[in-house]
Amino acid sequence: MKHAQTLNSEMPKAFDPLAIEAGWYARWEADGLFIADPASDQPKFAMCFPPPNITGELHMGHALQAAVYDLIARYKRMTGYEVLFLPGYDHAAIATQNVIEKQLAREGTTKEELGRDHFNARVDAWYEEVGAQIINQLRLLGASMDWTRLRFTMDARYVRAVTTAFVEFYKHGWIYRAPRIVNWCPHDRSAISDLEVEWREHQDTLYFVKYPIEGGGDLTIATVRPETMLADTGVAVNPADGRYRNLVGKTAVLPLVGRKLPIVADDAVETAFGTGALKVTPGHDPTDYEIGQRHGLEIVNGMNLDGSMNVPGLPYDGLGALEARARIVADLKEQGLLVREEPYTHEVGHCDRCHAVIEPLISEQWWLRMEELRDHALAASEAGKVRWHPERYERTYLDWLRGLRDWNIGRQLWLGHRVPVFYCANGHTTVSVEPPSNCDECGNAELTQDPDVLDTWFSSALWPFATLGWPDQTEDLKAFYPTDINCTAREIINLWVSRMIMTGLEFMGDVPFSDVVIHCVVQAPDGRRMSKSLGTGVDPRDLMSKYGADALRAWATSVAMSSQDVRFDESRVEGYRRFCNKLWNATRLVLGSPGVDSADSPGIVERHEHLEDRWILSRLSYAADAVTAGIERFTFQDSINAAYSFAWNEFCDWYLEAVKDRLREGDAVAQDVAFQCLDTLLRFLHPFMPFVTEELWSRLPRREDYLMRNSWPEPQFVDPGAEEEFQEVMAIVEEVRGHRQAAGAPPRGGKLRLDGSVNHSIARLVARLAHVDLVDAPEARGTPLAVVAGRVAFPSGAGDARREKERKRLEDDLARIEARLESSDFQEKAPPEVVKNLEERATAAREALNRLADQDS
């Protein structure tokens, strides 16, 4: 349990985050506060943390995401839920393979040289090392994750879930194997899905090439990839294109190769592009593939899996694409077939992991039919089962879903979940979760497993239930599925969120979560992408060691739901460290008051004789409401801002200043109110800044338990009258201070006569806060301050400039207000309360001007 001590004398003057963070995390964890109990009779609340790729350390995006998740987890615990916050990490097959390959390259070797076994050992070691790093960083952040339920997508249990899903889909007849044109990464020697292609702008050349026509004449086509012409099997024109109508049905002859190419008419051809004639390469272009299918064109495979040319008998055989291109262009030029070249800018697909140029080619792959999965997901959305925050992202998701095509789930990588398909020597296929010992059909025991692995996203798609034990009906699964929230960056809405929804509906019969929260992306200060390779990354650990985890988290949650991406601004993180320090010192002040150990805390103050007490308690209620509303609406910045301004601008700047004397005298009511404020404030700040709040709360008198497992505050002391009166206090005090500075007077001292209309409570506070003595009448000489009708003036004439400025402001304001009030349209059409409000403002401005005039006379 925690150590009990409440002596502020032990509190250093400055808050040191590093001195307390690790200790609290260890204590929370040791006391099992992160562990979820499926048998609890509390309502359940669950979130499965998006498994970070094990490709390296956590970056800013992870920190931001973890801060948001953890704030929700802590908030829900405090509001009475049994919370499961489940951590894990992802094997990220293609990404990890690339990382290891790069390491090997640096060591001057390759995975082929190393061999499968050694390569796998290497990968395992890497998973262990990086997995530990990631966990460590999440702990540093204060993420209250249930580490007893840590999951890894390569754990045996998880693997079984993945293969089970595959087998189920297969039984439905949704998984099939077929040759199709795919995005081929020649570097990874694997197919990748459409979503894993990253498009980049290239400055290329558009080549215009003359194709002779049998029986005389020729036509010119335009291409940026002349090397693919070696695999051309046709030429296409638009049926509506009058220029070429007479050529349809004729045959062109492929230069350099001599192959006969039927000229066909197809709507897919754009008449406005190039010459309006398209060379058709069904084996290496998706559009061409479809045209080829429609017209029965032959498919020629002109490329090897490593991206080199596969054109036996031609001089380009075995060359890389770019080299072949140069040679072909030269040869065409020599033969007079190159009509012209134009610079051309277009988008070229790259592998999003290794960045190699994608080569579309025909390949036999595993496919998953999406029709039914998609339709169920669409129906779930229509039924309002998933809410998106901000709402607009629902459309992003739905638009993508509606255009969904079959998913290429096979990968030809060394890493990943193996496809659970086995072939026997007789050519039969057995599909099974557990490796079969015999062929299902003929009993043959000589089985070989399909070499393909599954797309990483196939396994990630099962995350919300596979982590809970599916396909077994575990206690966790029953208690915590469906989960409640998924929070990610928008870039993986389609890759991941959509697929979880589809598999959840399929295997669990319900959506995997009810709310999807999309957070913004943090950019480098100059607006570029934050990236290690660009050198624009900022390490969250550096920030934590400079400012503390609380400051980083407070900043992260304050920007997470921005409508636009945010540029990283370190000064804002620093600002939240100062805020922690402010809280620290405010607590220190209150704890330093004599006799606090016996203060009646916590307890609602029944003795309301002090205006400032009623005022701050009313403000506290208002702030607590705002914090709660912000969390509930997923606008965390509203929560942070409300907490910050209450703590700093109201509690510290005004309340503590107002009650300093009372605290010093050991006034039990002031102590009680101050503790009440601190107690509540620390509670509603805890999800945002768990460490400093737990530390300070533990120092308040008689706090036996952890703040972390205490209840969410709902103070309900609202006193509009007190708020109004205190406004008056602040206005007069600010005026005194303003005049003082304008006149160059000392910051305290002097005498002030308040108008008789100012009540005693207000007068008392003004005197204290403005550091003046109240008198009945200003003395003729040596009186620095005087007041007329509740407003401050210097009788001497010092402060005239300020007064003049004030007059100007008031006059301008009054003129504007009167202009509006004089409009009959306004009087008739504006709501009465708006008119009334404006009239009151006009009155106030006139009174203020009158007072200024009185002072002049």
Subset of residues 156 to 195 that bind RNA, contact rule: CB under 7 A: 194-195
CB of 797 to RNA, least distance (A): 18
Asked if 531 touches RNA (CB under 7 A), the answer is no
Q: Which one of residues 270, 341, 371, 854 is an interface residue with RNA (CB under 7 A)?
A: 270
CB of 749 to RNA, least distance (A): 11
Asked if 14 touches RNA (CB under 7 A), the answer is yes
Subset of residues 795 to 814 that bind RNA, contact rule: CB under 7 A: 805, 813
231 near 283, Cβ under 8 Å?
A: yes
For the chain, how many helices (H) and strands (E)?
27, 29
What contacts 24+ positions apart, CB below 8 Å, involve 814-820? Answer: 814/842, 814/845, 814/846, 814/849, 817/841, 817/842, 817/845, 818/842
CB of 565 to RNA, least distance (A): 6
CB of 672 to RNA, least distance (A): 18
Backbone torsion region of residue 54, taken as left when φ is above 0, otherwise alpha when ψ lies between -120 and 50, otherwise beta: beta
Asked if 572 touches RNA (CB under 7 A), the answer is yes
Which is nearer to RNA, 564 or 857 (by Cβ)? 564
Instruction: Tell me the window of 84-92, 114-122, 471-479, 521-529 that interacts with RNA (CB under 7 A).
Output: 521-529
Asked if 313 touches RNA (CB under 7 A), the answer is no
Residue 773, C-beta contacts closer than 8 angstroms, at least 6 positions apart: 750, 751, 752, 767
| Three-state DSSP class for residue 317 | coil
Which is nearer to RNA, 147 or 826 (by Cβ)? 826
- What's phi and psi for 814, nearest 5 deg? -60, -40
Q: Which one of residues 15, 85, 184, 367 is an interface residue with RNA (CB under 7 A)?
A: 15
482 near 510, Cβ under 8 Å?
A: yes
Residue 829, C-beta contacts closer than 8 angstroms, at least 6 positions apart: none
Asked if 402 touches RNA (CB under 7 A), the answer is no
Asked if 853 touches RNA (CB under 7 A), the answer is no
Specify the residue for token string 């059909």.
441
Token readout for 750 is 């002097």
CB of 562 to RNA, least distance (A): 3
Asked if 350 touches RNA (CB under 7 A), the answer is no
How many other C-beta atoms lie within 10 A of the C-beta of residue 510? Answer: 14
Q: Which one of residues 225, 350, 610, 703 is an interface residue with RNA (CB under 7 A)?
A: 225
Which is nearer to RNA, 547 or 684 (by Cβ)? 547
Asked if 220 touches RNA (CB under 7 A), the answer is no
Instruction: Tell me the window of 166-174, 332-340, 697-705, 819-827 that interacts with RNA (CB under 7 A).
Output: 819-827
Token readout for 221 is 């086509």
Pairing of strands 82-86, 44-48: parallel
| Three-state DSSP class for residue 278 | strand
CB of 180 to RNA, least distance (A): 9
Q: Which one of residues 823, 836, 850, 854 is an interface residue with RNA (CB under 7 A)?
A: 823
Pairing of strands 429-431, 421-424: antiparallel
Give how far Cα 634 sits from Cα of 223, 391, 559, 666, Å: 50, 11, 12, 41
Asked if 199 touches RNA (CB under 7 A), the answer is yes
CB of 323 to RNA, least distance (A): 18
Which is nearer to RNA, 388 or 480 (by Cβ)? 388
What Rg, from alpha-carbon coordinates, does the chain have? Answer: 36
Asked if 632 touches RNA (CB under 7 A), the answer is no
Residue 492, C-beta contacts closer than 8 angstroms, at least 6 positions apart: none
Which is nearer to RNA, 99 or 586 (by Cβ)? 586
Instruction: Tell me the window of 7-15, 75-83, 152-160, 310-318 that interacts with RNA (CB under 7 A).
Output: 7-15
238 near 232, Cβ under 8 Å?
A: no
Token readout for 773 is 């003595």
- What's phi and psi for 367, nearest 5 deg? -125, 150
Asked if 841 touches RNA (CB under 7 A), the answer is yes
How many other C-beta atoms lie within 10 A of the C-beta of residue 473? Answer: 9
Q: Which one of residues 575, 666, 701, 795 is an interface residue with RNA (CB under 7 A)?
A: 575
Which is nearer to RNA, 144 or 628 (by Cβ)? 628
Asked if 214 touches RNA (CB under 7 A), the answer is no
Asked if 245 touches RNA (CB under 7 A), the answer is no
Asked if 822 touches RNA (CB under 7 A), the answer is no
- What's phi and psi for 576, nearest 5 deg? -75, -25
CB of 223 to RNA, least distance (A): 4
Asked if 525 touches RNA (CB under 7 A), the answer is yes
Asked if 693 touches RNA (CB under 7 A), the answer is no
Residues linked to residue 787 through DSSP beta bridges, in sequence order: 792
Write the single-letter amino acid at 327: R
Instruction: Tell me the window of 314-322, 534-542, 609-617, 655-663 that interacts with RNA (CB under 7 A).
Output: 655-663
CA distance 470 to 17: 41
* N-term to C-term CA, the chain: 70
Residue 78, C-beta contacts closer than 8 angstroms, at least 6 positions apart: 683, 686, 687, 708, 709, 710, 711, 712
Instruction: Tell me the window of 328-336, 365-373, 606-614, 821-829 that interacts with RNA (CB under 7 A).
Output: 821-829
Number of residues that bind RNA (CB under 7 A): 97
Token readout for 845 is 């401005």
CB of 413 to RNA, least distance (A): 21
Token readout for 208 is 């215009």
Asked if 586 touches RNA (CB under 7 A), the answer is yes
Asked if 395 touches RNA (CB under 7 A), the answer is yes
Subset of residues 727 to 766 that bind RNA, contact rule: CB under 7 A: 734, 737-738, 740-742, 747-748
Q: Which one of residues 268, 322, 330, 379 is an interface residue with RNA (CB under 7 A)?
A: 268
Asked if 110 touches RNA (CB under 7 A), the answer is no
Instruction: Tell me the window of 166-174, 456-464, 580-588, 720-728 that interacts with RNA (CB under 7 A).
Output: 580-588
Asked if 652 touches RNA (CB under 7 A), the answer is yes
Which is nearer to RNA, 719 or 806 (by Cβ)? 806
CB of 347 to RNA, least distance (A): 5
CB of 256 to RNA, least distance (A): 16
CA distance 740 to 743: 5
Strand segments (E) across 649-758 = 751-752
CB of 857 to RNA, least distance (A): 24
CA distance 364 to 178: 5
CB of 481 to RNA, least distance (A): 27
Size of the chain, expressed as the number of residues it contains: 857
Subset of residues 403 to 422 that bind RNA, contact rule: CB under 7 A: 403
CA distance 55 to 96: 5
Instruction: Tell me the window of 243-251, 283-291, 306-314, 781-789 that interacts with RNA (CB under 7 A).
Output: 283-291
**Contact string 659-678 vs RNA (x = CB under 7 A):** -x---x--------------
Smallest CA-to-CA distance from 520 within 486, 553, 566 is with 566
168 near 507, Cβ under 8 Å?
A: yes
Which is nearer to RNA, 408 or 412 (by Cβ)? 408
Asked if 657 touches RNA (CB under 7 A), the answer is yes
Q: Which one of residues 22, 380, 589, 842 is an interface residue with RNA (CB under 7 A)?
A: 589
211 near 221, Cβ under 8 Å?
A: yes
How many other C-beta atoms lie within 10 A of the C-beta of residue 403? Answer: 8
Asked if 345 touches RNA (CB under 7 A), the answer is no
Asked if 5 touches RNA (CB under 7 A), the answer is no
Specify the residue for token string 């080829």.
292
Instruction: Tell me the window of 54-62, 96-104, 327-335, 656-664 that interacts with RNA (CB under 7 A).
Output: 656-664
Q: Which one of residues 171, 217, 273, 724 is an interface residue with RNA (CB under 7 A)?
A: 273
Smallest CA-to-CA distance from 467 within 792, 84, 28 is with 84
CB burial class (10 A; 0-12, 13-18, 19+) of residue 280?
Answer: buried
